[in-house]
Amino acid sequence: MILALSLALSTGCSKEKMNELAANVKETTSEITSTAESITTQAQSVIQTAKEQIPSTGSLTLEMTPPIKTNDAKIELISVGDGRPNVIQVLTYAPESTTAYPRALLHGTTTAASVAMLAGQQIKCDLFIQTSASDPMIASISGSPVAVDFSTYDLQAGTIKASISSSNLIRADNQPVSLSGGDLTAVVVKEGE
């Protein structure tokens, strides 16, 4: 643009033309400023997101031999909507994933209407663990679900914490497995996410 202006001056153009060029320059400058602001906002957003992502994947630790630790845990309260109890479902993997191991599912029912309302409540959940695609699964014994005590609900972080009580589990090859406890930090998933 500076080059265009100098060229116009050197070639001696009309006043109207000069004004038009000046307006163009002003507009372009404004665009540059706006883009720069936008970049700054985006950069700030990226920094903010990066800060939030540290706790937001959730985690599940199960104390057993060998211990299970996942860096992903999502909790969802599903209300079918026809009057039956609601379902609490904790997944440490994406259902369609074929590679995320170890993985665990906690599944229980509640009358609570939202995840936030679970804080301070104990929910009995069926627990299923897969350490790999080929190893025998480990699960709670049918009719003896594990106790999950929900504690802090963090609205800001969108997470809820829970501790898992010790329990006797069974491996698919019929060997007993002892669970001596566990900790859960789960990212709350809203319906349809």
Identified binder of other proteins from the candidate list 12, 14, 50, 83, rule CB under 8 A: 83
Instruction: Based on the shown chain and the rule CB under 8 A, indicate whether residue 183 belongs to the binding site for other proteins.
Output: no
Regarding beta strands 146-154 and 138-140, do their DSSP bridges make them parallel or antiparallel, or are they unpaired? unpaired
Residue nearer to other proteins on the CB measure, 91 or 162: 91
- Stretches 10-18, 22-30, 104-112, 154-162: which one binds other proteins (CB under 8 A)? 104-112
The amino acid at residue 39 is I
Could you tell me the two tokens for 64? Answer: 């057993």
Q: Which of 126, 149, 154, 183 binds other proteins (CB under 8 A)?
A: 126
> Binding other proteins by CB under 8 A: which of 12, 66, 81, 176?
81
Q: How far is the CB of 158 from other proteins (least distance, A)?
A: 19
Which residues, in sequence order, are bridge partners of residue 123? 148
Among 25, 87, 116, 157, binds other proteins (CB under 8 A): 87
Place of tokens 């972080």: 157
Contacts with other proteins, 132-171, as mask; x by CB under 8 A? ----xx-x--xx----------------------------
How far apart (Å, rounded) are the C-alpha atoms in residues 41 and 106?
A: 39
Query: Which range binds other proteins by CB under 8 A, 29-37, 65-73, 105-113, 153-161?
Result: 105-113
User: Is the separation of the CB atoms in 140 and 127 below 8 Å?
Assistant: yes
Phi/psi at 87 (5° precision): -110, 135
Helix axes 2-11, 15-56, angle to 10 degrees: 180
- Per CB under 8 A, 66 contacts other proteins: no
Residue carrying structure tokens 């903010």? 48
Q: Which residues of 11-37 are buried (b: 16+ CB within 10 A; e: fewer)?
A: eeeeeeeeeebeeeeeeeeeeeeeeee
101 touching other proteins, by CB under 8 A: no
Residues in contact with other proteins by the rule CB under 8 A: 76, 78-87, 89, 91, 95, 105, 107, 109, 126, 128, 130, 136-137, 139, 142-143, 172-174, 191
